[in-house]
Each structure stands twice: as structure tokens, then as C-alpha cells.
Amino acid sequence: MIIHKEGNNKHWETIYSFTQVKQTITTLSFNPFTNINNSLQLIVSYSDGSMHYINYFHDTWNTKEYTSHPFGMTNLTWLPVSADSNESISAFITAGNDCQLKYWEISNKELIEEKDVLEKVHNSSVFNIECFSSESTSSVKQDSLITLDIDDEIYLWAISRNTNNKLYEFNKPEPVKFSQDQKPSGISQVTWSKCGAFLSISTQEGMYLYRNVEKEWTLVSSMNNEGVMVNYEEEN
């Protein structure tokens, strides 16, 4: 595993090489929310369930190995952390082939701790997870999580910040319920809008846009792979 940095004249140079890779890499993700200047945080996971935390700070590279999911990690998403946090500097959620979701924090001593195993709602491998801050009319940021498994089951999670000695607390998830005969199959990607009112879903056949109507997701429009779009609201 090699990390490159764009240098002068748009040439990429190698700045770090990690040769202790023994299994297939399943996930590789940089932390976009790090609140420490001139630092870098990277999680690399493998098919055997192990993961490496690679950190660059004060001109020094450090690597630590951890165990994540027993049958391999499939994906992860980073969570934004307030700059005034005293103990933990980063947080992230992982998904695995064990159908589980786990919540982790990285301390200011650069140690990773598994803080929580989220409520088990998926019955198959979870491969798509995304966390983001939703728009809110209040002064409190509303964070959300969306998860998808290989059986096309989707769950939406509301997240509370700074509770019970943890940076985040996860509320009871809600399954995504589609209007009759409007659920696509073979879902490869799902994204929840920041306003919370829309879902975008991708499949091999195309893309679909849904709107939340009385706690059911109703198809608004779709576009096939040839770029042909259908607006279902106009048809109705």
C-alpha cells in the first residue's frame, strides 16, 4: 500500500510505503474531518477482519493494527468531531460481513477504541454506509447515518452528539419503507439528502429519486443508463 502526494508541476511523489499487507484490502479511507493541523489519518482494512490505523503527525509515521469484523470489514464512514473535544480527536463507523455496525473513537493519544456495537438490524453483509450532518432549523447539528446491505435493506439512523462519555449516541434505526411496487432491486449505492426528504438510489438499470411522503418513500423520477429521464409526479 503506497501513499502519494501531489508535488510541484502536478507530479505525484511517494511519501509512504506500507509493505505489511498480508490480505486483500477491502477498505481504504482518509479522515476528512481531522482537527489537528498538518496531520493525516488513514484506516486500511483487510478481508481477514484486521485493520491498520496509519497516522502522520510531527513529521512521523505511525501504524497500529486492530481487529474489526471477524469476516472482514466492508466499508467505513468518518464522523465530524468538534475541535473542543478533550479526549477523542476522531470517530468513525465500520460495517462488515458479520452484518454488524461498530462505532470507534480515536483518542488524543492516537489509540483506537471500539466504543459501541450498534443495534443489529441487518441480516446480511452491510456494504454501503454514509454519515453526514443534516440541515436543521435549530442551533444543534443533526447528524444522520444511512446503511445498506446486499439484500437491498436500507436503514436510517439519527445520531446525538456528546452523550454518555461518548462523542456520539445512535438512536433506534428506521427501515426504509417504499410505496407499493416501487422498490428497486440490485441496489449498489444509496444517498440520503441533507434535508432528509429525498433518497437517491443507484442500480445497474439506472438511478432513482424518492421523496418521503408520510413515512413512505415514493418514486419521484428515474433515469436509465442511456440518460432517459421519467418524471412520475407529472404523470400522476
Determine the pLDDT at residue 26: 92
Number of structural domains the chain divides into: 2
Closest C-alpha to 104, from 31, 24, 39, 47:
31
Q: Residue 151 sits in a domain of what CATH number?
A: 2.130.10.10
User: What pLDDT, on a 0 to 100 scale, did the predictor assign at position 137?
Assistant: 46
Domain check: are 159 and 112 in the same one?
yes
pLDDT of residue 119: 94
Structural domain of 51: 2-175
The predicted pLDDT at position 233 comes to 64
Q: Are 201 and 116 members of one domain?
A: no
138 lies in the same domain as 225: no
Give 3-state DSSP helix, strand, coil % of the chain, rounded to 5: 5, 60, 40
Predicted pLDDT of residue 45: 94
- Please tell me the number of Cα atoms within 13 Å of 143 on its side-chain side: 18
Is residue 82 located within the same domain as residue 195?
Answer: no
Last residue of a domain, one of 151, 175, 199: 175
Q: What's the longest Cα–Cα distance across the chain?
A: 61
- On whether both 158 and 183 belong to a single domain, the answer is no
Whether residue 133 sits in one domain with residue 31: yes
Angle 82-86-92 from CA coordinates, rounded to 5°: 55
Residues 9 and 124 in one domain: yes
In this prediction, residue 103 carries a pLDDT of 94
For residues 220 and 235, give the distance between their C-alpha atoms in angstroms, rounded to a whole number: 10
- pLDDT value, residue 139: 46
Residues paired with residue 131 on neighbouring β-strands, in sequence order: 145
Q: Are residues 203 and 90 in the same domain?
A: no
Q: Are residues 26 and 80 in the same domain?
A: yes
Can you give the pLDDT at residue 8? 81
| Pair (210, 155) in one structural domain | no
Distance CA 178, CA 209 (A): 12
- Are residues 74 and 34 part of one domain? yes
Per-residue pLDDT in tens (0 to 9) along the chain, 236 residues: 899 988 888 889 999 998 888 789 999 999 988 766 667 899 999 999 999 999 998 889 999 999 999 899 999 999 887 655 555 678 999 999 999 999 999 887 778 999 999 999 999 999 999 988 755 544 455 688 999 999 999 999 988 876 656 678 888 899 999 988 899 999 999 998 888 889 999 999 999 999 999 889 999 999 998 888 888 765 54
Give which of 166, 141, 15 is closest to 88, Cα–Cα: 166
Do residue 182 and residue 170 come from a single domain?
A: no
Would you state the cell numbers that stand for residue 171, as one nine-digit string? 438512536
Question: Considering only CA atoms, which of 152, 156, 157, 92 is closest in space to residue 127?
Answer: 152
